[in-house]
Structure 1
């Protein structure tokens, strides 16, 4: 690779990179996020995503108010 060419740090080019970027999530959580609309693309046998798009999606995904549910939540540690 030419010293002038560097990989784009915002571009994730595998499922593993995306899972690590999300905090080292499990396969189950990865699939759950894809079903919930996480912006990622599967093309020619490989997953692609933009960190910028994931960050924007995450901000929307987590912008919820759980105040009325907090007493029903049982956390696992």
Structure 2
């Protein structure tokens, strides 16, 4: 199970990708037809907004550090 995913209820997710795996995650999303957009690039964390059900990210578990609901403030 993806870390942090036990409380995920929405279809817009905040995904933190493992260091150096951002392009792999983007490629996975493109292949699966998942809308994703990078919104933060920090030294150790690359964050994405992914619009999909949590189950759709099962194949990308090797790229993902954690998943949680996108904060409401960022949805507007």
Shorter-normalised TM range = 0.3 to 0.5
Greater RCO (CA < 8 Å, at least 6 residues apart): 2
TM-score normalised to the size of structure 2?
0.32
The answer to which structure has the higher helix fraction is: 1
**Larger CA Rg, structure 1 vs 2:** 1
The answer to which structure has the higher strand fraction is: 2
